Amino acid sequence: MSHPKLASIFNKDEQKVNWHDKALWFVRHKRDLSVHQVKGWETLRELGHNIKAHTLSNLDNYLVEFETNALKNGIQVHWAANAKEHNTIVHQILEEHGAKKVVKSKSMLTEECHLNPYLEDRGIEVIDTDLGERIVQLAKEPPSHIVLPAIHKNRHEVDKLFQEHLHTKPCDGDPQYLTQEARKHLREKFINADAAITGVNFAIAETGGFVVCTNEGNADMGTHLAPIHIACMGFEKLIPKQEHLGVFLRLLARSATGQPITTYSSHFKRPMNGNKMHIVIVDNGRAEQLGRPDFRKSLHCIRCGACMNTCPIYRRSGGHSYDATIPGPIGSILSPGKDLTKHSSLPFASTLCGSCSDVCPVKIDIHSQLYKWRQIITKETKQPFVKKKSMVFMGKLFSKPKQFERIGKIGRWALRSLPQSMINAKPNVWGKSRDLPKGPKQSFDEWYRNRMKKSQ
Amino acid sequence: MGSRTDILNKIKANKPDKLALPTIDPYIFNEDLDLVKEFTKKVEVVGGNVYPISSLDEVTLKINTLLPNTHSNFSTLENTTGFNTISMDVIKRPHELEDLDVLVLQSGLAVSENGSIWVEDSVLPMRILPFITKHLVFVIDERSIVPYMHQAYEKINDFNFGVFISGPSKTADIEQSLVIGAHGALSLSVFLLK
Ligand code: SF4
């Protein structure tokens, strides 16, 4: 289904949309307060951007350096070209050790590869341990946000889910109680797990180690209890040196939630005595994206979610309307590279206001890339007849100023004089769930000419 | 090895021309922070508490008043054997630490700008300790606070596992309301030695 269709489903519950909109804007606001306190924030973003750009330009060598050092550290390194290979590798590791119970901390990559159903089909229990992820897992839904996976659910829905699955008492959606119960429930899972899977926030070529950031402590509870740790990373997670972590850890949490740093920034370098540590390096379309000069910068992304929180479309259409692992503005430039036809509506789910590019901690030109995808999609996929015709018509209109002025006059008159029922009639999509402004008497052009006359 | 060569070749073919690696000049960010004041403020922002002390002897006494009636305590500080109710020598599996109430750790590195404290496994008898304990207490010398992450990484050398911890564990995954105490520690206290 296209983005507009899915968005209209989300929009049925107006109260929820309003809450969703405000809640995310609040997170964006916290980000603002936090970053404005950092002296040299723009320099920091610039550094983040340039370190990533440099890394991508030398990525093959850095990956080899990382692999060499990781092996020296006693970490086993695996390479996966696509989701299927990734899943097979993870399953093989688990099978070799007879691991049946797995705890997983947040990893968008394993979502992208659909690892959970793959393992579950093979008799392995996979428990998502981030609270938000556990909530959506119980609801059998994908996350709707990369940092706040259950932002589309209200407390009463969580209350009901927990009553059903964790046998909690009805609590009118008390977050304190629900979190406590989740802690107990997941504590038991941690204690009994045979293996822990995590994502990777940053992998360091120089040291062969990697960093995982969480607020809940779930990645650490999993990895330090279970004898096997499998870390899965898209290859763009690499950075050259440890000192670069100083830049990225300063950027990440402030951009994500406004915290000065996540509660836990865990640096894994060598496995504990007797334990096993594996890392799976995944391509799955990334090398191809690297080959697209207009879009390769999308690989700079550090998954902070800021572009989602700020996006006026995302806030009002919800993460599920994007029908992609990574929703929001960044998802809309990553997804078409994977499947242009399936995701052809996503680059249009934007006002091109540029707010995403403004908040992005690694300065990805998100809105310009959205615009570039539009050019490609319009050429390469079939466009609706009406849209095609109206584009030709508008093109002609805009090229003739006199005619444009005349039509503008009629338009403004219509907006002033026609009855509401006609203005908001079905063919006018701009009038859907929205009142159009009263048409002003003057056009901008006229106002400007008058002003010039007066000032002369 | 799987697809190693394929992936690397594809990257080599698709990567852009080499771009320069920027150098980080930490001076750009410098605002002459009052390190102790800023650190204290940030620890409080992230949900922890800071208590100034003038001698290590005060630590266990203070803990007993802050967190009375705990059953399972462990400290890595010297001369606190009377405080410890468990011995790491008899613990075989990290799982046995599940009921740990209070853990006291010493750290030699803390960061002013974000209230985080660095712990690495050279001071950790078991990696799970700072996560599985209910209450986490750090003892830090004021002089080990650095202004920013940049300076912190200059001080970190080799380790097997290390972690920056900033406040107690927390989540806001239910309707964005902040709850302290997710999977890790329920509280974090810092004793700051003058
Ligand atoms: S594109 Fe930028 S703002 Fe969006 S999630 Fe990635 S790093 Fe954050």
Tens of pLDDT, residue by residue over B68-77, are 989 999 999 9
Tokens of B29: 């960010």
Amino acid type, A268: F
Residue B114: pLDDT band with limits 50, 70, 90:
very high
Q: Are B173 and A267 an interchain contact pair (Cβ–Cβ within 8 Å)?
A: no
A40 Cα–ligand 1 center, Å:
19
Q: Are B171 and A131 an interchain contact pair (Cβ–Cβ within 8 Å)?
A: yes
- Percent of chain B's residues with pLDDT above 90: 88
Query: In this structure, are strands A101-104 and A76-80 parallel, antiparallel, or unpaired?
Result: unpaired
Looking at per-residue pLDDT, the higher value among B87 and A198 belongs to A198
Q: A285: left (phi > 0), else alpha (psi -120 to 50), else beta?
A: left
Q: What is the pLDDT of residue B82?
A: 85
Residue A288: pLDDT band with limits 50, 70, 90:
very high
Q: How far apart are CA A124 and CA A120, in angstroms?
A: 5
pTM of the model: 0.94
Cβ-nearest to A215 among B22, B161, B170: B170
Q: What is the pLDDT of residue A456?
A: 75
Residue A427: pLDDT band with limits 50, 70, 90:
confident
Q: Are B29 and A43 an interchain contact pair (Cβ–Cβ within 8 Å)?
A: yes
User: If residue A211 lies in a helix (H) or strand (E), which one and from where to where?
Assistant: strand A209-214
Q: Are B7 and A43 an interchain contact pair (Cβ–Cβ within 8 Å)?
A: no
Residue A425 has pLDDT above 90, yes or no: no
Residues 76-135 in A contacting B (C-alpha not used; CB under 8 Å): 78-81, 85, 89, 129-132, 135
Tokens of A161: 């889910």
Q: What is the pLDDT of residue A455?
A: 82
Q: How far apart are CA A211 and CA A264, in angstroms?
A: 10
Q: How far is B91 from chain A (nearest CA, A)?
A: 13
Q: Position of tokens 């390190």?
A: B35
Residue B1: pLDDT band with limits 50, 70, 90:
low
Domain boundaries, chain B: 32-193
Which residue, among A172, A164, A150, has the nearest Cα to A23 in the 3D structure? A150
What would the DSSP string read from start to end of A260-311? SS-SEEEEE-SPPTT-EEEEEEE-TTHHHHHT-TTTGGGGG-----HHHHH-
- For the stretch A292-337, pLDDT in tens is 999 999 999 999 999 999 999 999 999 999 999 999 999 999 999 9
Average confidence (pLDDT) over A137-151: 96
The alpha-carbon radius of gyration of chain A (Å, integer) is: 25
Return the best residue to mutate from A302, A313, A369 for the ligand 1 pocket (most ligand atoms within 8 A of CB). A302
Topology (CATH level 3) of domain B32-193: Rossmann fold (3.40.50)
Cβ-based neighbours of B26, under 8 Å, separated by 6 or more: A246, B148, B150, B151
Q: What is the pLDDT of residue A101?
A: 98
Domain boundaries, chain A: 1-28+304-382, 38-284, 397-455
Q: How far apart are CA A282 and CA A306, in angstroms?
A: 24
Residue A436 has pLDDT above 90, yes or no: no
Cβ-based neighbours of A340, under 8 Å, separated by 6 or more: A376, A377, A380, A381
Half-sphere exposure of A191 (CA within 13 A, CB side): 12
Q: What is the pLDDT of residue B188?
A: 98
Q: How far from A47 is each of A242, A244, A382, B155, CA to CA, in Å?
A: 14, 9, 41, 21
Q: Whose CA is nearest to atom 8 of ligand 1?
A: A304
Q: Is the dihedral of CA B66, B72, B75, B79 positive or negative?
A: positive
Top CATH class of A38-284 equals alpha beta
Residue A129 has pLDDT above 60, yes or no: yes
Mean pLDDT of chain A: 95
Q: Position of tokens 């403020």?
A: B41
Average confidence (pLDDT) over A1-13: 92
Q: Is A385 exposed, middle or buried (0-12, 13-18, 19+ CB in 10 A)?
A: exposed
Average confidence (pLDDT) over A201-209: 98
Tokens of A141: 């839904």
- For the stretch A54-88, pLDDT in tens is 999 999 999 999 999 999 999 999 999 999 999 99
Tokens of A158: 């969580």
Q: What is the pLDDT of residue B89?
A: 87
- For the stretch A42-57, pLDDT in tens is 999 999 999 999 999 9
Residue B55 has pLDDT above 70, yes or no: yes
Interface pTM, i.e. ipTM: 0.97
